[in-house]
Structure 1
Amino acid sequence: MKIVIIGGGVAGLTLGLLLHKKNVDISINERTTSRSDRGHAFLMHADGWSILNKLGENTSISLKGEPISTFSFNRPNGEEIKRLKLSNWKCFKRKDLIKYLYELLPAEKIKAGREFSHFIYQGEKAIAVQFTNGEIEYGDIFIGADGGKSAVRESILGAVNFTEIQVKEVVGICKNESLGTQQRHIFKKFQSNKQGLSFGMIPVSVDEFVWFMQFDTSLADCQCGCSAEELKTFCMNLLADFPPEVSELLDSNDFSKSYIWNTCDFGVLPTFHKNNIVLIGDAAHLALPFTSAGTTNAIMDAQILSEVLFKHDTYVEDFQAFYNLRLKHVEQHILLGRELKEFFLHPSDIHEDDVKVPLISKKVQVENSFNKEINLQYFSDPICSTCWVVQPLLRKLVLEYGHYINVEHRMGGLLPSWENFNRGNISKPSDVAPHWEEECVLYGMPLDGDIWLENPLNSSYPPSIAFKAAQLQDADLASLFLRRIKEMLFIEKINIVDVHFLAKVAFEIGLDSARFLKDYEHKAKDSFLEDLRLANELKVNTLPTLIFSNANQEQIVTKGHQTYNKLEDIVLKLIPNAKKQKINTTPEYLFNRFSTMTNKEYAIITDTSIENSTNTLNYLFEEGFIDKYESKNGVLWKSKSMAY
């Protein structure tokens, strides 16, 4: 079996290498006579670069890439409107990637100067490919990996309808040491909110950037083939009102090595193959560049096709399986690219909260909160110690009965300030310290009361408002945010009042910290006051207060600490036929579901003694499966795979 690959770009080379490692006879045919630097650099998700890294295992050849950990979206006046943490993204120079793949492949497998002309058929089956230089390559299966303007695609499926070119992109790469120091690991983009114009800069090393300028062709245009000086003048004029760092970067650029990219796409193809010829990469599906998904998609195509080949009775069934596996992903990328283009062309139509990140990554599937039979309004406060010690019970309740319960987190406003505060035996910060120490002993959850002696909080309102700011973006991430600031307060003795500190926490757990800060000052305050109004209306005077209700308007209220049996009984009273789910108590599952756990939480969830749980967790730590944070009154165990 011989497989002939037409196209020596990322898709073709990756597929060739994957098949070569499986001892499949391959031939990679590239139309150019030398490796091109065209493309400069690109972002790639771990879905792609992890495959590439694996190809180089057990060799001395390594793939260079610059980690990109932050996306910063700004207006031309420098105002940052979105700041997000990125996970598993790197920026690669195209020439480095091509060089890496070439070095891993035997030289004789790659044949240069071969531009596709046509296939030679025997009946309906292709038996060879003819190149414009007169050379012929025979094979059994043929792979079209010859890019968005694929001649192979046109020969087997006919012409596609490319979308109109409404956006062009100028791309360059240049060195700038001072900006490299300031912008390390940050994908920074400036985009007009009035017209289709943007500028992006992504570091490819400590002192080097790939940059791009996207522009609406109805505003201005510049044709391919213009001189370097004309291209520089064109860019400088369009970006005259952008921040100084933009012109500084452009001044560092050699415009003779920059180029203009006419961006377009085409719709989802009804198939990727015809008989024994199949398409991969841009030849099979071309998305607009706004998603930064092209290279990752090419590599994923190569990986998946290499896996399904020879798995079925015929290669046609293999190709259909490949198409079925890739169809939804491809369609998602094409649609997102088009959506982002519309936002780009008509920015005034989009509210800033709805600005999407121009990157595709895997989406976390969350449970559907609709149509659940019980609604639970949970009134708590970030500094409420009893709200902290009930965490093991609530986590277990969600694991066993979460398929019935929709949880609404609301703030109770425990500490407006210390002025005239008097609740129980507590009227000043130093009164809280012994109370926390007592609860730690009583309930087995770690609390360190020393913060109230060393660095006391003056109010619980700032972290409460911060939670509401997080909740306005994403309810699930808001829960993680609340958990994290509680850990910092109760275990790590960190004062969680300062909003800029809270914004850093929001960023670390995956929220947009720029939007977080804006919401904190406006919308979140209104949302917090609404919670206080509702708490007053419902006579919530103890925290935590849990209000359970079902579709029949039956309601059960609990206040303060409860036993797990009491919480379970409430569920069964509201839903008599409720069936609890069996908890998967493997450490792999639990530390994937919860990124941190205490000894008490692990014991309650796994239904084991504190002693046995502690022994298990210590063993997992010694084996390198988890990390730990040790405090005066207990340990917080941390998943290594789900860092904040």
Structure 2
Amino acid sequence: MNKVAVVGAGISGLSMANYLEKHKIDYHIYERRKKEDLAGHGFLIPQEGIEYLTQIIEPSLLFEQGSFLKKYIQYSHTGKQLAEKDLNNVFAISRHSLINLLTQNISPEKITYEKTVTAGDLQDNCLKHTDGSNVDAYIAVISDGSRSRIRKSLFPDEKMRMVRENEVVNIITDKEIAAGIENDFMKFHHDQGGLTFGIIKLSHDTILWYSQFDNEKYRINECSPDNLKNYMLEVFEEWHPMISSIIQKSNYENVHLWCVYELEELNPFYKDNIVFIGDAAHPLIPFTSQGVTSALKDSFILTKYLVEESNITEAFKKYETERKPEVETHIRNGRALLSQFLLPIDQHTDHILPISYK
């Protein structure tokens, strides 16, 4: 098979490269950002995602970089326990750790950083460099995120909308705080809805934390580290003391403010010799906790059909046919969880787990 160009060196792009590597299919990755990306956020990976991930990462290496969570525990903002549910092999890992693991099997010469490519003349080459020259590839796998520029150029009539939720995500290394937290997924909810604080222990000294805001009630106007920290302390001042301690002691150098968008309707997953995976194909709002698993399944199934089918259009068609129904289920589940997030706690459905299952 001729070379595959993979656009984007995030989780979906690197997963795709690993599966291509496994099947000895030639490829090159183009990433427009710098290699050093330490933005403080991470992922929950359910059992199904672990099964796909351990096909390309040695399990012992993977599991030492994160932790399995025992329970999901829901609290009021003052710390009263509201609900509890056992978790079945849900794994937590930082984005930085997972990126490093996915990169280890890829030769450095197969990734070009700080390189932007665009959709070109599909009659000759599927992608072009910014200087107008052709990218050396016959197939383009696009994994450039939920606001994909290439997807927008191919489907100019698509409509994206901002979701009524923003997230602030960070990681703190503090042995004292971590020692007082079990390996549980803890989530605190404001009584009136539209504001949460989640805590996930990644290791003996590292915690991933995130806050979700109804962006119509809570507007984050200034995103500098100091102002964001002060805003967080003000908003969560009357919450459980552990939350204030985490916010106060965190370093905000690599904090991530996530403005969430979704497509009103999914585009096709491919056009001619360009195919989309992960968020570039189907943005999923964060309530699903299915971003990594969906990216892994996209990569695995697309590679499978590229190996099995001599006709790339047939391979792309089978990939879309297999993946789209499940993705649509996660989209519906995510919207239902978003609707509940906006409601007061006393209107929540009992024992809702913030993970979408098919």
- TM-score band by shorter chain is over 0.9
For 1:32 and 1:298, how far apart are their aligned partners in 2? 19
- The offset of 1:321, in angstroms, is 0.9
Q: Does 1:212 align with 2:210?
A: yes
For 1:290 and 1:68, how far apart are their aligned partners in 2? 17
For 1:57 and 1:289, how far apart are their aligned partners in 2? 27
For 1:83 and 1:311, how far apart are their aligned partners in 2? 44
Over the aligned positions, Cα root-mean-square deviation in angstroms equals: 2.0
- Residue in 2 that maps onto 1:198: 196
For 1:286 and 1:279, how far apart are their aligned partners in 2? 11
2:121 is paired with a residue whose SS is strand
1:160 is paired with a residue whose SS is coil
Q: Does 1:256 align with 2:253?
A: yes
User: Is the alpha carbon distance of 1:135 and 1:30 closer, same or farther for their aligned partners in structure 2, counting shifts above 3 Å?
Assistant: farther
- The offset of 1:268, in angstroms, is 4.3
- Count of residue correspondences: 356
Question: 8 Å contact 2:171–2:207 — kept in the other structure?
Answer: yes
Pick the aligned partner of 2:339 from 331, 338, 342.
342
Identity %: 29
Q: Does 1:185 align with 2:183?
A: yes
User: Is the alpha carbon distance of 1:49 and 1:351 closer, same or farther for their aligned partners in structure 2, counting shifts above 3 Å?
Assistant: closer
- Residue in 2 that maps onto 1:360: 356
What is the correspondence of 1:282-321 to structure 2 with a 5 Å cutoff?
282-321=279-318
For 1:150 and 1:49, how far apart are their aligned partners in 2? 26
What is the correspondence of 1:368-407 to structure 2 with a 5 Å cutoff?
none
- The offset of 1:179, in angstroms, is 2.9
- Residue in 2 that maps onto 1:139: 137
Which amino acid in 2 is paired with 1:90? F
For 1:324 and 1:264, how far apart are their aligned partners in 2? 24
Cα deviation 1:585-605 (Å, max 9, x = unaligned): xxxxxxxxxxxxxxxxxxxxx
1:66 is paired with a residue whose SS is strand
Question: 8 Å contact 1:168–1:217 — kept in the other structure?
Answer: yes
1:237 is paired with a residue whose SS is helix
Bigger drift between 210-219 and 343-352 goes to: 343-352
User: Is the alpha carbon distance of 1:175 and 1:118 closer, same or farther for their aligned partners in structure 2, counting shifts above 3 Å?
Assistant: same
- Residue in 2 that maps onto 1:234: 231
- The offset of 1:174, in angstroms, is 0.3
For 2:154 and 2:264, how far apart are their aligned partners in 1? 17
What is the correspondence of 1:422-437 to structure 2 with a 5 Å cutoff?
none
Question: 8 Å contact 1:266–1:287 — kept in the other structure?
Answer: no
- The offset of 1:62, in angstroms, is 4.9
- Residue in 1 that maps onto 2:57: 56
User: Is the alpha carbon distance of 1:348 and 1:53 closer, same or farther for their aligned partners in structure 2, counting shifts above 3 Å?
Assistant: closer
Which amino acid in 2 is paired with 1:121? L
- Residue in 1 that maps onto 2:72: 71
Question: 8 Å contact 1:201–1:209 — kept in the other structure?
Answer: yes
Cα deviation 1:47-80 (Å, max 9, x = unaligned): 223322221349x965622111111011112111
Which amino acid in 1 is paired with 2:202? V
Question: 8 Å contact 1:76–1:191 — kept in the other structure?
Answer: yes
Q: Does 1:162 align with 2:160?
A: yes
For 1:78 and 1:162, how far apart are their aligned partners in 2? 37
Q: Does 1:46 align with 2:47?
A: yes
User: Is the alpha carbon distance of 1:38 and 1:159 closer, same or farther for their aligned partners in structure 2, counting shifts above 3 Å?
Assistant: farther
- Could you state the TM-score of these two structures normalised by the residue count of structure 2? 0.93
- Residue in 2 that maps onto 1:324: 321
Cα deviation 1:354-385 (Å, max 9, x = unaligned): x52111245xxxxxxxxxxxxxxxxxxxxxxx
- Could you state the TM-score of these two structures normalised by the residue count of structure 1? 0.53
Question: 8 Å contact 1:65–1:93 — kept in the other structure?
Answer: yes
Which amino acid in 1 is paired with 2:111? I
For 2:148 and 2:127, how far apart are their aligned partners in 1? 14
Question: 8 Å contact 2:71–2:87 — kept in the other structure?
Answer: yes
- Residue in 1 that maps onto 2:113: 112
Question: 8 Å contact 1:175–1:252 — kept in the other structure?
Answer: no
Which amino acid in 2 is paired with 1:46? Q
- The offset of 1:200, in angstroms, is 0.5
For 2:230 and 2:353, how far apart are their aligned partners in 1? 29
Question: 8 Å contact 2:8–2:144 — kept in the other structure?
Answer: yes
User: Is the alpha carbon distance of 1:96 and 1:348 closer, same or farther for their aligned partners in structure 2, counting shifts above 3 Å?
Assistant: closer
Question: 8 Å contact 2:233–2:248 — kept in the other structure?
Answer: no
Which amino acid in 2 is paired with 1:219? K
- The offset of 1:254, in angstroms, is 0.9
For 2:201 and 2:121, how far apart are their aligned partners in 1? 46
Which amino acid in 2 is paired with 1:194? Q
Question: 8 Å contact 2:66–2:202 — kept in the other structure?
Answer: yes
User: Is the alpha carbon distance of 1:198 and 1:62 closer, same or farther for their aligned partners in structure 2, counting shifts above 3 Å?
Assistant: closer
1:121 is paired with a residue whose SS is coil
- The offset of 1:6, in angstroms, is 0.8
Question: 8 Å contact 1:267–1:334 — kept in the other structure?
Answer: no
2:204 is paired with a residue whose SS is coil
From the two aligned structures, give the one with the greater strand fraction: 2
- The offset of 1:3, in angstroms, is 1.0
For 1:24 and 1:254, how far apart are their aligned partners in 2? 41
Question: 8 Å contact 1:47–1:300 — kept in the other structure?
Answer: no
1:154 is paired with a residue whose SS is helix
Question: 8 Å contact 1:140–1:276 — kept in the other structure?
Answer: yes
Q: Does 1:23 align with 2:19?
A: no
Q: Does 1:87 align with 2:96?
A: no
For 2:142 and 2:181, how far apart are their aligned partners in 1? 39
Cα deviation 1:111-165 (Å, max 9, x = unaligned): 112112332332xxx5142223666422111111110111121122225322234
Pick the aligned partner of 2:170 from 169, 172, 176.
172
For 2:40 and 2:320, how far apart are their aligned partners in 1? 27
| Structure 2 unaligned residues grouped into runs of 5+ | none
- The offset of 1:33, in angstroms, is 2.7
Question: Using CA pairs below 8 Å that are at least 6 residues apart, which structure has the higher relative contact order?
Answer: 2
Which amino acid in 1 is paired with 2:275? V
Which amino acid in 1 is paired with 2:36? R
- The offset of 1:348, in angstroms, is 5.2
1:333 is paired with a residue whose SS is helix
Which amino acid in 1 is paired with 2:41? H
Cα deviation 1:302-342 (Å, max 9, x = unaligned): 11111122423521111111111111211111111111111
Which amino acid in 2 is paired with 1:234? Y
